[in-house]
Amino acid sequence: MIQGAWTQNMQTTINSTTLSLIKGDIIHEETDTIVNAANSRLAGGGGVDGAIHRAGGPKIMEECRRIGGCPTGSAVITSGGNLKAKYVIHTVGPIYQDGKHDEAKLLANAYKNSLALAVKKGIKTISFPSISTGAYGYPINEAAESALKTVMDFIKTNKGLSLVRFVLFSDRDFEVYKKTLAMLTA
């Protein structure tokens, strides 16, 4: 099949870390860890959270229950259960209200704390979904800019990660992230 340019992946390298954007389903990722867009009770749910628990099996939920919860903007880690990824980092993005309730800071914290936890654990490769832009209603353009800026700032100043990948679930999200990365690297 001949694919149009709009389906193509995009990547850039900052210091020793590759930042890559692909379209896909995060449960298939073979990075050391994948990141889950969880809720603060770590109770499971729909969207990417539901997909990760379905594919990863009950071990991940058992570990989540033992951890007990995760405040918005923080991150915790479990094993990857039956997933190809060895770990799942569970982070909680903000529920978008009107942009005046610290949403931007909390979304940036969700990415920063996930990355910091990965580095602390010696993880080299990590895949993120687009946190907060599904059930939590964060506008995709603003969220993409915040997500990419936060990751770029982190890898400019932190060594240890070789790959940070965003796995975007829809054509539209993939296009928005690609346009935003092009703008930020221009």
Active-site positions?
49
* Least distance between ligand AR6 and beta carbon 45 (Å): 2
Strands 10-14 and 17-23: antiparallel
Tell me: does residue 136 bind ligand AR6 (CB under 6 A): yes
Tell me: does residue 129 bind ligand AR6 (CB under 6 A): yes
Tell me: does residue 49 bind ligand AR6 (CB under 6 A): yes
Site for ligand AR6 (CB under 6 A): which residue of 21, 26, 104, 144?
26
Tell me: does residue 68 bind ligand AR6 (CB under 6 A): no
Strand order from edge to edge, sheet including 75-79: 10-14, 17-23, 163-168, 125-128, 33-37, 87-91, 75-79
Question: In angstroms, what CA-CA distances link 154 with 19, 158, 164, 170?
Answer: 11, 6, 11, 26
Tell me: does residue 47 bind ligand AR6 (CB under 6 A): yes
Tell me: does residue 104 bind ligand AR6 (CB under 6 A): no
**Locus of tokens 């770990």:** 87
**Interface contacts to ligand AR6, rule CB under 6 A:** 25-27, 37-39, 45-49, 51, 93, 129-136, 167, 169-170, 173
